[in-house]
Amino acid sequence: MVELSPSNDSFRIKSKTPIGASTALVIMIQPLVGISHTLMKDAFISWGINQQILMKVVLFAFSVFLSYLMAVFYEKSAVRKFESRVLQNSKRCRLVFEPKGKRMIDWWYITLGINTVCLAFFIGLDSGYESAILVINGIISWWFFVILRMPQIPEYYKTLTLTEIEEL
């Protein structure tokens, strides 16, 4: 048997990873997510929204439209951030591409397919959990709208040929 003094901290378990700002934000928002989910669930059941197909379709379309507006705002803020970092007297060019004959993946069909699946689940549910499908569809739609509005440059190199560079 060994007697330890109260100041001995050799057996104290120390946290290995400090909690970052994003983790703390997620922890703080969890009660708000729970409360808002409960309120939306009660609203869908008590107002009878879960029984009205037209109202459900309108809410679904509104969530997709809201995702589109968020993607537009994200694009404009990214352009503003880019323009603030580029010097005003720098040379600006426009790249002109021609298609090689291959076609890029058409993200519109993928987006439409995933939104159709989410809409089918959304209309099929009537237990009050429709708000969760709205949130999931909103996040997926936002992600696809960002991809559609701001395609990655390497995607174009696979399907297009650079023909000329114009100075602006």
Mean pLDDT of 1-8: 55
Q: What ranges in the chain are assigned the alpha helix state H?
A: 21-46, 53-85, 107-124, 130-149, 153-159
Q: What is the pLDDT of residues 74-133, one digit of tens each?
A: 989 988 887 787 777 777 778 787 777 666 567 778 888 989 999 998 888 888 788 888
CB atoms within 10 A of CB 118: 20
Residue 40: C-alpha distances to residues 36, 64, 88, 130 (Å) = 6, 18, 48, 8
The whole-angstrom separation of Cα 115 and Cα 141 is 7
Confidence of residue 1 (pLDDT cuts 50, 70, 90): very low
* 168 or 16, which is more confident: 168
Give percent of the chain with pLDDT exceeding 90: 11
